[in-house]
Amino acid sequence: MPKQVDHQARRRQIADALLRIVDREGLEGVSLRHVAAEAGVSMGRIQHYFATKDQMMIFALIHVHERIYQRVNACLDPRSPRDLVRSAIIEMLPLDDERRTEARIALAFLARSAVEPAYAATLREGYPYHTVFFAEQIRRAQRSGEAPADLDPEREAVLLFAITQGLVNPTLIGHYTEETVIGAVDRHLDRIFRVR
Amino acid sequence: MPKQVDHQARRRQIADALLRIVDREGLEGVSLRHVAAEAGVSMGRIQHYFATKDQMMIFALIHVHERIYQRVNACLDPRSPRDLVRSAIIEMLPLDDERRTEARIALAFLARSAVEPAYAATLREGYPYHTVFFAEQIRRAQRSGEAPADLDPEREAVLLFAITQGLVNPTLIGHYTEETVIGAVDRHLDRIFRVR
DNA sequence: AGGATTACAATGCACTCGCATCGTAAAAGC
DNA sequence: GCTTTTACGATGCGAGTGCATTGTAATCCT
């Protein structure tokens, strides 16, 4: 046989090409030939690494979520619970090209998951992470007196995540300016955290 | 010529069939033949009323927004600004089959609008309505003393709309229960309106 | 009454799709 | 060194796509 290759690396390379297409044209722009051309490889190679198109798509979905997760994690501001939460929220908003790209991709897969249970299952796995993170930060703030003790951390986490997600799409479509969304986020954080 | 027909009614009938397909299969399930079969008519008829597939899609997008608008308007609770806002928010959440259907359809078109400017333009026209409505209710509440005078109605409206939209998708995917989302909404309304 | 126009239905065309199949060059394993 | 396995590249198939074209029955207008 030819050189033993790194299967996961090959898969990721293909997935990256796929995601570039999703960014430009949405999921409906994805075809085996199209992905092959974008990746600069043959269709046979695509088929060698993914038995079906759906398997390739699901792999790309998981892959992009890992990318987002790592990028957000790298940008966290650890000075206080509030700063942590704020930096995480801001980093998930589509305020530069990289984040707009990821927001478009995530939106495309989200829409698909509304009609394809296999996609929805993958998405559901990722949801709890955010609310658990927000709730944990609120509890930390409560212990240090930076947040009122009578707040329900879980409920506040649901609201924080909803605000984050709810700001993404209008911003992506071009409805809000950066100042508007950041102002709204800070306004809400003022309600949870006592000090800046 | 044959009987003069109501063009708009025919178009709406076709659009309704299209939207049923979008609900079940997403935008990628829409084809001229598919829509014709769902509507129980011939492909020729579809082509007679819409010059291109894209024109048909945009018409359906506008049509479903009108449907949602009228349904929400019919469910408003006018007892107080808070009740008005609350009933509008609850009515936009996917908590029964009809609203889940509309949420799925709206999500499908939203994803398309991230890559197709013509769709995005249509969506942007509808956005201001919500925030203007929320801001107006907050101002009413301020005048009657039901909300603190120092709130910025526009900023609070952005947050209210974000929370609404941000709760839709996780609920649609099955991440939250009805009690969780309604509890979160009421919690936030408590922050804006003084009395129930 | 009859030509002009409307409202379709039917068919065809060029293209794209996912996937199966087939062939083959190369390296791993014995 | 020779067989087996891996990693593809190339090609083809049947199905589906949007849209153009053509045909025709019906009714409005004069």
SS3 per-residue string spanning A114-162: CCCHHHHHHHHHHHHHHHHHHHHHHHHHHHCCCCCCCCCHHHHHHHHHH
Q: Is the pLDDT of residue B1 over 60?
A: no
Is the C-beta of residue B53 closer than 7 Å to nucleic acid chain D? yes
Span CA (B39) to C1' (D30), Å: 37
- CA dist B108 and A195 (Å) reads 41
- CA dist A112 and B108 (Å) reads 8
Q: How close A134 gets to chain B, by Cα (Å)? A: 14
pLDDT of residue A195: 64
How does pLDDT run across B50-68, given as a tens digit for each residue? 999 999 999 999 999 999 9
Encode burial over A87-107: b for 16+ CB neighbours within 10 A, e otherwise. Answer: bbbbbbbbbeeebbbbbbbbb
pLDDT of residue B195: 63
The verdict on a CB contact (< 8 Å) between B110 and A107 is yes
The verdict on a CB contact (< 8 Å) between A188 and B159 is yes
Task: Using CB atoms, pick whichever of A27, A159, A183 lies closest to residue B184.
Answer: A159
Q: What is the DSSP string of B32-81?
A: HHHHHHHHTS-HHHHHHH-SSHHHHHHHHHHHHHHHHHHHHHHT--TTSH
Q: How close A141 gets to chain B, by Cα (Å)? A: 19
Q: Is the pLDDT of residue B47 over 90?
A: yes
Q: Is the pLDDT of residue B196 over 60?
A: no
How does pLDDT run across B104-155, given as a tens digit for each residue? 999 999 999 999 999 999 998 888 899 999 999 999 999 999 999 999 999 9
pLDDT, average across residues B2-18: 92
Summary mean pLDDT of chain B: 95
Which residues of chain A register pLDDT less than 70?
Answer: 1, 195-196
How does pLDDT run across A67-105, given as a tens digit for each residue? 999 999 999 999 999 999 999 999 999 999 999 999 999
Residues 17-56 of A with CB under 7 A from strand D: 41-45, 47-48
- pTM of this prediction? 0.93
Is the C-beta of residue B32 closer than 7 Å to nucleic acid chain D? yes
- CA dist A192 and A185 (Å) reads 11
pLDDT of residue A132: 96
pLDDT of residue B77: 96
Taking CA–CA distances from B162, the nearest residue in chain A reads: A166
CB-defined contacts A:B, below 8 A: 133
Is the C-beta of residue B2 closer than 7 Å to nucleic acid chain D? yes
pLDDT, average across residues B183-194: 96
pLDDT of residue A56: 98
For B147, the token pair is 């909300």
